[in-house]
């Protein structure tokens, strides 16, 4: 038997759609999908980068959070994990990397250095990566334990699921752009 | 006759040694010379075979002196493991001859001294900034530069080869394709940047730029009391943090003239060897990952996590343990810890063998690494290689054997040495070192000395917490030491340990105050990485990535 579209294979789907209904809003299901398929780009510059490797590694296994596919290309990632000290020399680079990421994009600042410069109150260290790019979640620690990183990722997932407003991102302007 | 007298006689007639000062300071031989003599003297010391290694070149700033800067050369002899420090004074607007004709490896060290102090080296072909960014104004390690004065950098340096932008190194050949790899690149480790000019897949010219993780370690050390520098040393080589703690504390202890108790020595040896193992696991794991084998990463991190578990038990921290203190350890090992280390040794041994069969016995791995970018023994010494890379090139030099400390001379272990210095040999040496480290740990753990874990000198070590909270004497002692800080006598010392990557040296100048006057780290991979453009010249692009992985570059100690 053919349906109105004339394709036989879609019969089963047609039947199913008559029997089953998902009662949800479109944006809710999109958010659910987004939060469970984060593709992190580890921007590991220093110690935190090693600790982030542990989070990806066999014991802590970030794959359980759907954030399994670590990509080192900004074009293939939607979550920038800034793991390590960002120096003044690195700041233009990370801004560019952030710009190259596709929407929707999120940023986690992992560890004391990335969040505030940490105990490097020093001439060549950027005093927090939020000076150049918008940060959604800050993870404390030097370096944070893997458990803390997971907590940070779960916090971000809650943010995505509940459509938290993100004024820091909406109002962000590239500090290196010519006015 | 001591070394200094022998040196004096050999220099007689060749140089005007009446202007020289021969000093024996805190166990080091120091030679103070006029700056005009330095290039010739270094050339002579090298060519006569007296000192074949130049370990470090650094500056020290004395703003109130007529000739403001000291330029210090640290020489080392692989024959009798003796050291010599050559010092020369240079004024504000003066320059000093370069040491590159004598020691090729002086290149980056001189650039660093220029960057940090503004000391100019005549005859250096490429004297420009190396650690700070190119828009930086001033020289940060001068005493009159504020530690907290940041200067924004707005653009990245364009691709350039060897010379200042604008000069021929900046002009790219239209026949070839310029290729920028890193920082933050799929094929590159973290903060490293390599710029290559490609003819098809072959590298015609290559240049590397560092400084993307320059965290001002040395300036931070100058602005903190001695014990507070320990957490900063953790973050030099964060793959084997405890070894940096140990190296630093050892230098301070030598300046203070104290010896730590046997138990502290044993704990330090265990910590150091465990760190060597986990450092090599990262080098091998990520190295194989760069060649396309992801399994090794997961496998190696399994071993590493178990070691971290033991660190956590020991002191509560995983990566950055800060476990040593000047004078010993921060606390004793918990009950049964040494037995757990012994149990872990069995697992590491098994894991290492399995891993070796997966990596170095693998046909693809062998084809990708054997005979690729070899470094000869002479070249390695000229560049100042130390550690596994030097030994892979066939030089049998290990400070644990050459200058034994903490009872390494009483332990039974071998130093693996390679033959060709290619990438394959480097991994073979690392695997064998892991096995030897297990041997060392087992020997120490089976025979842990009793006694205290730290010295009890009230001017150096904080009292135990029960005394601080329990009696007035302990409280006052704690208060005084926190407020006043521990104060080593005026003097200077260079002390080196065999870290996972090679010789980790600390040159420490004390003016008698609570902060180090100058602390210079000699990081092993700084000397190694400067040879990279030469090593990969003419190689394929994929080989260059394999080379960078085998060098095990840790940006924290490379850039400091």
Asked if the model's pLDDT at residue B216 lies above 80, the reply is yes
Asked if the model's pLDDT at residue A31 lies above 80, the reply is yes
Q: Looking at residue B58, which CATH number applies to its domain?
A: 3.30.460.80
Q: What is the pLDDT of residue B506?
A: 92
Any binding-site annotation on A113? yes
Q: With respect to residue A24, please indicate whether it lies within any of the assigned structural domains.
A: no
Provide the 3-class DSSP secondary structure of residue A88. coil
Contact flag A92-B145 (C-beta cutoff 8 Å): no
Mean pLDDT of B15-25: 80
Distance from CA of B59 to the nearest CA of A (A): 19
**CB of B287 closer than 8 Å to CB of B300:** no
The model's confidence at residue B357, banded by pLDDT at 50, 70 and 90, is confident
Number of structural domains, chain A? 1
Asked if the model's pLDDT at residue B417 lies above 50, the reply is yes
Give the torsion sign (CA, B184, B190, B191, B197): negative
Distance from CA of B366 to the nearest CA of A (A): 26
Contact flag B213-A58 (C-beta cutoff 8 Å): no
DSSP state, A64? G
Give the torsion sign (CA, B133, B136, B139, B140): negative
Rounded Cα gap, residues B424 and A151, in angstroms: 40
Q: Distance from CA of residue B27 to its chain's centroid?
A: 21
Distance from CA of B126 to the nearest CA of A (A): 20
Nearest chain A residue (CA) to B156: A92
Rounded Cα gap, residues B350 and B435, in angstroms: 10
Write down the number of H helices and E strands in chain A: 7, 4
* Sheet containing B21-25, strands listed edge to edge, beginning at the edge strand earlier in sequence: B21-25, B28-33, B83-90, B69-76, B53-61
Strand partners of residue B87 = B32, B72
DSSP state, B406? T
Residues 7-36 of A with CB under 8 A from B: none
Helix orientation angle between B541-550 and B262-290, rounded to the nearest 10 degrees: 170
Number of structural domains, chain B? 2
Rounded Cα gap, residues B439 and B41, in angstroms: 43
A29 backbone dihedrals φ, ψ, rounded to 5°: -75, -30
Residues B371 and B485 in one domain: yes
Of B388, B399, B398, B403, which Cα lies nearest the Cα of B434?
Answer: B388
Query: Using CB atoms, which residue from B154, B215, B308 is nearest to A85?
Result: B215
Q: With respect to residue A5, please indicate whether it lies within any of the assigned structural domains.
A: no
Nearest chain A residue (CA) to B137: A123
Residues 148-177 of A with CB under 8 A from B: 176
Mean pLDDT of B475-485: 88
- DSSP for B272-327, please give it: HHHHHHHHHHHHHHHHHHHTT-HHHHHHHHHHHHHHHHHHHHHHS-SS----EETT
Last residue of a domain, one of B122, B141, B172: B122
Asked if the model's pLDDT at residue A7 lies above 70, the reply is no
Query: Higher pLDDT residue, B242 or A14?
Result: B242
Any binding-site annotation on A39? no
Distance from CA of B18 to the nearest CA of A (A): 42
Contact flag B148-A121 (C-beta cutoff 8 Å): yes
The model's confidence at residue A154, banded by pLDDT at 50, 70 and 90, is very high
Distance from CA of B342 to the nearest CA of A (A): 21
What pLDDT digit, counting tens, does each position of A72-107 carry? 888 888 899 999 899 999 999 999 899 989 888 999
For residues A8, A12, A16 and A22, what is the CA-based torsion angle, rounded to 10 degrees?
-80
CB atoms within 10 A of CB B27: 12
What pLDDT digit, counting tens, does each position of B138-180 carry? 899 888 888 888 888 888 888 887 655 556 667 777 888 888 8
Q: Looking at residue B381, which CATH number applies to its domain?
A: 1.10.645.10
Chain B contact for A90 (CB, 8 A cutoff): yes
The model's confidence at residue A136, banded by pLDDT at 50, 70 and 90, is very high
Rounded Cα gap, residues B381 and B79, in angstroms: 12
Q: Which two tokens stand for residue B176?
A: 């070839």
| Chain A residues inside the 8 Å CB shell of B234 | 47
Give the torsion sign (CA, B136, B140, B145, B148): positive
Residue of B134, B146, B150, B187 to mutate, interface with A, max A Cβ within 10 Å: B150
Q: With respect to residue A10, please indicate whether it lies within any of the assigned structural domains.
A: no
Q: What is the pLDDT of residue A1?
A: 47
Q: What DSSP element (H or E) covers B106?
A: helix B106-117
Contact flag A123-B146 (C-beta cutoff 8 Å): yes
What pLDDT digit, counting tens, does each position of B306-327 carry? 899 899 888 888 888 888 888 8
CA A8-A12-A14 angle, to 5 degrees, is 90
Mean pLDDT of A146-158: 92
What pLDDT digit, counting tens, does each position of B512-526 carry? 888 999 999 999 989
Residues B272 and B407 in one domain: yes
Nearest chain B residue (CA) to A72: B186
Chain B contact for A97 (CB, 8 A cutoff): yes
B445 backbone dihedrals φ, ψ, rounded to 5°: -65, -30
Contact flag A123-B220 (C-beta cutoff 8 Å): no
Of B121, B117, B120, which Cα lies nearest the Cα of B143?
Answer: B117
**CB of A115 closer than 8 Å to CB of A27:** no
Any binding-site annotation on A142? yes
The backbone region for B389, taken as left when phi is positive above 0, alpha when psi lies in -120 to 50, beta otherwise, is alpha
Rounded Cα gap, residues B294 and B351, in angstroms: 16
Strand partners of residue B193 = B209
Q: With respect to residue A26, please indicate whether it lies within any of the assigned structural domains.
A: no
Mean pLDDT of B422-443: 91
Mean pLDDT of A147-160: 92
The backbone region for B19, taken as left when phi is positive above 0, alpha when psi lies in -120 to 50, beta otherwise, is alpha
Instruction: Look over chain B and give the mean of its residue pLDDT values, rounded to a whole number.
Output: 87
Contact flag B150-A85 (C-beta cutoff 8 Å): no
Q: Measure Cα distances from B513 to A94, B249, B256, B492, B508 in Å.
A: 40, 17, 13, 13, 13
Distance from CA of B317 to the nearest CA of A (A): 9
Contact flag A53-B156 (C-beta cutoff 8 Å): no
Give the torsion sign (CA, B466, B470, B471, B473): positive
Q: With respect to residue A146, please indicate whether it lies within any of the assigned structural domains.
A: yes
Nearest chain A residue (CA) to B554: A46
Asked if the model's pLDDT at residue B290 lies above 70, the reply is yes
Q: Looking at residue A49, which CATH number applies to its domain?
A: 3.40.50.12280
Q: With respect to residue B327, please indicate whether it lies within any of the assigned structural domains.
A: yes
Contact flag B298-A57 (C-beta cutoff 8 Å): yes
Distance from CA of A145 to the nearest CA of B (A): 8
Rounded Cα gap, residues B109 and B526, in angstroms: 8
Residue of B128, B145, B212, B240 to mutate, interface with A, max A Cβ within 10 Å: B212
Rounded Cα gap, residues B230 and A25, in angstroms: 55
| Chain A residues inside the 8 Å CB shell of B305 | 54, 57-59
| Chain A residues inside the 8 Å CB shell of B212 | 45, 87, 89-90, 93
Query: Using CB atoms, which residue from B151, B183, B216 is nearest to A90?
Result: B183
Rounded Cα gap, residues B131 and A122, in angstroms: 14
Asked if the model's pLDDT at residue A33 lies above 90, the reply is no
Mean pLDDT of B173-191: 82
Residues 43-72 of A with CB under 8 A from B: 43-47, 49-51, 53-54, 57-59, 72
Cβ partners under 8 Å of residue B26, min gap 6: B254, B255, B257, B491, B492, B493
Rounded Cα gap, residues A22 and B428, in angstroms: 58
User: Is B292 exposed, middle or buried, given 0-12, 13-18 or 19+ CB atoms closer than 10 A?
Assistant: exposed
Residues B111 and B233 in one domain: no
Rounded Cα gap, residues B259 and B273, in angstroms: 20
Nearest chain A residue (CA) to B558: A46
Contact flag B183-A58 (C-beta cutoff 8 Å): no
Distance from CA of B185 to the nearest CA of A (A): 7
Mean pLDDT of B528-534: 89
CB atoms within 10 A of CB B130: 23
Nearest chain B residue (CA) to A86: B213
| Chain B residues inside the 8 Å CB shell of A122 | 147-148, 150, 215-216, 219-220
Q: With respect to residue A167, please indicate whether it lies within any of the assigned structural domains.
A: no
Contact flag A54-B186 (C-beta cutoff 8 Å): no
Residue of B310, B319, B321 to mutate, interface with A, max A Cβ within 10 Å: B319
Q: Which two tokens stand for residue B499?
A: 């870290």
Asked if the model's pLDDT at residue B460 lies above 90, the reply is no
What pLDDT digit, counting tens, does each position of B364-408 carry? 889 888 888 889 998 899 888 998 999 999 888 888 888 888 888
Q: With respect to residue A176, please indicate whether it lies within any of the assigned structural domains.
A: no
Q: With respect to residue B85, please indicate whether it lies within any of the assigned structural domains.
A: yes
What pLDDT digit, counting tens, does each position of B228-239 carry? 899 999 888 888
Q: With respect to residue A20, please indicate whether it lies within any of the assigned structural domains.
A: no
Residue with tokens 């200067």: B151
What are the start-end ranges of the E strands in A38-100? 40-44, 79-83
Cβ partners under 8 Å of residue B129, min gap 6: B111, B114, B115, B136, B211
**CB of B494 closer than 8 Å to CB of B74:** yes
Q: What is the pLDDT of residue A178?
A: 63
Residue with tokens 């004297």: B127
Chain B contact for A145 (CB, 8 A cutoff): yes
Q: With respect to residue B28, please indicate whether it lies within any of the assigned structural domains.
A: yes
Rounded Cα gap, residues A64 and A146, in angstroms: 13
The backbone region for B535, taken as left when phi is positive above 0, alpha when psi lies in -120 to 50, beta otherwise, is alpha
Q: With respect to residue B439, please indicate whether it lies within any of the assigned structural domains.
A: yes
Residue with tokens 């394929």: B540
DSSP state, B128? -
Distance from CA of B28 to the nearest CA of A (A): 32
What pLDDT digit, counting tens, does each position of B246-280 carry? 999 999 999 988 989 999 999 999 999 999 999 99
The whole domain housing B56 covers 3-122
Provide the 3-class DSSP secondary structure of residue B71. strand
Chain B contact for A121 (CB, 8 A cutoff): yes
Reported residue count of chain B is 560
Nearest chain A residue (CA) to B241: A47
ipTM comes to: 0.85
Q: What percent of chain B has pLDDT over 70?
A: 98
The whole domain housing A60 covers 37-162
Contact flag A123-B133 (C-beta cutoff 8 Å): no
Rounded Cα gap, residues B487 and B149, in angstroms: 28
């Amino acid at each position: 038997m053919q349906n109105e579209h004339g394709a036989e294979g879609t019969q089963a789907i047609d039947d199913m759609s008559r029997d089953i209904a998902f009662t949800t809003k479109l944006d809710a299901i999109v958010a659910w999908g987004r939060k469970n398929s984060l593709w992190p780009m580890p921007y590991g510059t220093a110690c935190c980068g090693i600790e982030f490797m542990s989070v990806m590694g066999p014991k802590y296994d970030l794959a359980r959070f759907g954030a399994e596919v670590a990509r080192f290309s900004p074009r293939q990632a939607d979550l920038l994990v800034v793991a390590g000290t960002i120096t003044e020399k690195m700041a233009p680079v990370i801004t560019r990397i952030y710009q190259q990421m596709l929407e929707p994009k999120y940023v986690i600042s992992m560890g004391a250095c990335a969040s505030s410069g940490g105990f490097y109150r020093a001439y060549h260290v950027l005093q927090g990566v939020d000076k150049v790019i918008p940060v959604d979640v800050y993870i404390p620690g030097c370096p944070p334990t893997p458990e803390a990183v997971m907590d940070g990722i779960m916090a971000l997932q809650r943010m995505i699921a509940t459509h938290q407003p993100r004024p820091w991102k909406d109002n962000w302007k590239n500090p290196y752009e010519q006015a | 006759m001591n070394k200094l007298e022998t040196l004096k006689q050999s220099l007689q007639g060749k140089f005007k040694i009446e202007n020289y000062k021969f000093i024996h300071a805190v166990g080091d031989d120091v030679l103070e010379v006029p700056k005009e003599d330095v290039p010739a003297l270094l050339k002579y010391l090298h060519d006569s075979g007296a000192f074949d290694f130049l370990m470090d070149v650094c500056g020290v700033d004395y703003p109130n002196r007529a000739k403001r800067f000291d330029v210090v050369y640290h020489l080392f002899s692989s024959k009798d493991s003796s050291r010599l420090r050559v010092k020369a004074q240079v004024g504000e607007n003066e320059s000093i001859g370069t040491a590159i004709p004598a020691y090729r490896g002086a290149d980056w060290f001189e650039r660093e001294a220029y960057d940090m102090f503004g000391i100019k080296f005549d005859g250096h072909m490429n004297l420009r900034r190396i650690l700070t960014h190119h828009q930086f104004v001033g020289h940060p390690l001068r005493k009159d530069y504020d530690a907290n004065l940041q200067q924004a950098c707005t653009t990245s340096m364009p691709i350039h080869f060897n010379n200042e932008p604008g000069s021929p190194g900046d002009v790219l050949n239209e026949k070839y394709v310029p290729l920028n790899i890193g920082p933050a690149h799929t094929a590159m480790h973290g903060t490293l940047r390599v710029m290559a000019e490609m003819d098809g897949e072959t590298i015609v010219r290559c240049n590397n730029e560092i400084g993307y993780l320059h965290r001002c370690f040395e300036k931070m050390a100058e602005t903190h009391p001695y014990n507070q520098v320990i957490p900063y040393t953790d973050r030099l080589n964060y793959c084997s943090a405890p070894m940096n703690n140990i190296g630093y504390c050892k230098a301070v202890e030598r300046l203070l003239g104290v010896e730590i108790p046997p138990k502290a020595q044993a704990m330090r040896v265990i910590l150091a060897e465990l760190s060597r193992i986990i450092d090599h696991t990262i080098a091998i794991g990520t190295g194989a990952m760069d060649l396309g084998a992801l399994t090794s990463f997961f496998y190696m991190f399994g071993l590493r996590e178990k070691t971290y578990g033991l660190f956590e038990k020991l002191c509560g921290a995983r990566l950055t343990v800060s476990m040593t203190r000047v004078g010993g350890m921060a606390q004793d090992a918990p009950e049964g810890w040494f037995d757990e280390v012994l149990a872990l040794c069995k697992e590491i041994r098994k894991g290492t063998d399995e891993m070796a069969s997966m990596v170095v016995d693998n046909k693809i791995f062998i084809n990708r690494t054997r005979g690729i970018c070899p470094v000869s023994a002479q070249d390695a010494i000229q560049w100042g290689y130390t550690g596994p890379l030097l030994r892979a090139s066939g030089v049998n030099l290990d400070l644990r054997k050459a200058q034994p400390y903490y009872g390494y001379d009483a332990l039974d272990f071998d130093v693996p040495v390679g033959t060709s210095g290619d990438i394959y040999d480097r991994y073979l040496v690392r695997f064998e070192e892991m096995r030897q480290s297990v041997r060392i740990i087992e020997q120490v753990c089976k025979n842990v000395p009793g006694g205290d874990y730290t010295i009890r000198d009230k001017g150096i070590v904080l009292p135990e917490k029960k005394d601080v909270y329990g009696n007035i004497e302990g409280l006052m002692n704690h208060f005084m030491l926190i407020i006043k800080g521990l104060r080593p006598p005026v003097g200077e010392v260079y002390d080196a340990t065999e870290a996972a990557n090679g010789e980790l040296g600390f040159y420490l100048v004390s003016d008698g105050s609570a902060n180090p006057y100058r602390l210079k780290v000699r990081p092993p991979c700084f000397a190694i990485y400067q040879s990279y453009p030469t090593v990969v010249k003419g190689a394929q692009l994929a080989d260059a990535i394999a080379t960078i992985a085998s060098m095990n570059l840790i940006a924290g100690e490379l850039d400091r």
